Structure 1
């Protein structure tokens, strides 16, 4: 009887230690900024999760604009996750701040079991972070090489003109 009570207490203690309590997130975001050099837009989130209990979630899933992707976990530093997203055109990755919903195993399975859109929205995520994408720049209308060649041509023309005036 004592063994049964100890086994139940051990299982409860193990189950209690598995969850991440009051997670805190630190986020760094990187995204495509030059539209002339890249045909596609890409963004990456580096998420660091710190839990009050010290137990990190084993896997995280990120929901970005309705697309759910798994997060890659860093081997070297526990609690660090990476999310990457790539889109075909620059317009599909909206500029500004985009809310990314994070799901752990429990909340992800609840979201997968939900059958309607309302039920999916009712699932409480593990946490939310923001992707900051300043937008894509296509650079100046005229490239700097054009100005360099124009200035070089003007200097050469002025020098040639002065040389012709001196020799004449």
Structure 2
């Protein structure tokens, strides 16, 4: 009985400590909404590959703008993080996404509960998404331009008619 308890403890202990990523290598690509003329939210997507020297990749989470979001597995060593922001609050520039393992996730949750800053939480890797901004349409809407042109044409038509009849 005692022997089986020790064997089970060793397996549980090794399972917990074998799931740590050592020497992570990250390559990433990112995508953002480019045209905001008909949408209300800006979408951010980061695709990245994570390779660990020991071959063990634990479950991953991400910290984005002070929020914890899940990391999706899309293939072998391929992961994806996505979220949206309102167009009014989305600012152009680099967005830092911190990739966390289970220990980092637990530390981040603890920091959020106690109201502490998340910058003290260590991450496995960082992914940077560059958001250049989105096209919101022309400065002058076509409806306004058409109204202005028709008013100018009407003004000249009426002024010429008054000159001809006078």
Confirm or deny a common fold (TM above 0.5): yes
SS of corresponding position for 1:91: coil
Residue number in structure 1 paired with 2:120: 122
Residue number in structure 1 paired with 2:45: 44
CA drift of 1:130 comes to 0.4
Alpha-carbon separation, structure 1, partners of 2:95 and 2:17? 33
SS of corresponding position for 1:34: coil
Residue number in structure 1 paired with 2:88: 91
TM-superposition CA deviations, 1:49-85 (whole Å, max 9, x none): 111111112x2111111121111112xx222111111
Aligned residues of 1:46 and 1:82 also touching (Cα < 8 A): yes
1:27 aligned to 2:28?
Answer: yes
CA drift of 1:131 comes to 1.0
SS of corresponding position for 1:92: coil
Alpha-carbon separation, structure 2, partners of 1:105 and 1:132? 27
4+ residue runs over 3 A deviation:
6-16, 139-143
Please list every run of 5 or more consecutive structure 2 residues that lacks an aligned counterpart in the other structure: 146-166
Alpha-carbon separation, structure 2, partners of 1:86 and 1:11? 38
Which is worse superposed, 32-41 or 20-29? 32-41
Alpha-carbon separation, structure 1, partners of 2:77 and 2:90? 27
- Note closer, same or farther for the CA distance 1:27–1:35 as it changes in structure 2 (3 Å cut): same
Equivalenced residue count is 137
Please list every run of 5 or more consecutive structure 1 residues that lacks an aligned counterpart in the other structure: 147-168
Q: CA RMSD in A?
A: 2.8
Residue number in structure 2 paired with 1:108: 105
